[in-house]
Amino acid sequence: MDLPFDLETFLPYRLNRAAERISLRFAARYRESFQMTRPEWRTLAALGSCGQMTATEIGAHSAMHKTKVSRAVRALEQRRWLKRIEDTKDRRVENLELTPLGRQHYRELVAMAQDYEQTLQTLLGKDALTQLENGLTAIETSMTPS
C-alpha cells in the first residue's frame, strides 16, 4: 500500500508555516518600536478590542497558554498599561482593563496593525484574503477551545 500523502496539503503544517511567516514579520515591527513580545501584544490587543476581560478569557480568545497570559499580564501591569480590578462576586477572578496609558499605546499599535493589514492586502490580493478569512472563521466556530 502506497502513501498518497502530500505535506503540501497538510493543514497543520501549512497553517503553522503561514502563521509564523505572517506573525513574525509583524512582530518585528512592534518589537523594535515598543520592546514588546508577542504574548504581550496579543494580550493588549484582546483587552483593547474587547474591553474588560479575565486572564482565562484572554487565553481562550487568543489560544495562549495560561502561564503565557499570566506573564504577559504582569509585564503590562508593570508598564502601567493595564490594571487589575477585583471581582465582587468571585474573588478568584481578576478583571483586567487597560489604563489610559495602555489605551494610548494600544492606539499606536493599532495604527501599525492597520498599516500591516494594508501591506498584506496588496501582497495577497483581496480575493485570497477573503477566502482565507472564511476558512479561519470555520476553524473558529468548529474548534472551540479544547
Partner DNA sequence: CCATAACTGTCACTTTTGTAACTATCAAGG
Partner DNA sequence: CCTTGATAGTTACAAAAGTGACAGTTATGG
- Sign of the C-alpha dihedral, residues 94, 113, 104, 30? positive
Q: How far is the CB of 72 from DNA (least distance, A)?
A: 7
Residue of 31, 40, 49, 96 that binds a copy of itself (CB under 8 A) = 49
From the CB of 49, what's the least distance to a copy of itself, in Å?
A: 4
Stretch that binds DNA, among 10-18, 56-64, 103-111, 133-141 (CB under 7 A): 56-64
Name which of 90 and 133 has its Cβ closer to a copy of itself.
133
CB 31 within 8 A of CB 116: no
Q: How many residues does the chain have?
A: 146
Q: Is 67 in the site for a copy of itself (CB under 8 A)?
A: no
81 neighbors 87 (Cβ within 8 angstroms): no
Binding to a copy of itself by residue 15, rule CB under 8 A?
yes
For residues 24 and 30, what is the distance between their CA atoms, to the nearest angstrom?
10
- At 53, give phi and psi (nearest 5°): -145, 160
Q: Pick the piece of the chain touching a copy of itself (CB under 8 A) from 69-77, 78-86, 91-99, 117-125.
A: 117-125
Handedness of CA 85, 113, 124, 5 (dihedral sign): negative
Here the cell at position 13 is 503544517
Phi, psi of 130 (to 5 degrees): -60, -45
Binding site for DNA (CB under 7 A): 37-39, 54-57, 64-71, 73-74, 89-94
Binding site for a copy of itself (CB under 8 A): 3, 5-26, 42, 45-46, 48-50, 61-64, 107, 110, 113-114, 116-117, 120, 123-125, 128-129, 131-140, 142-143, 145-146
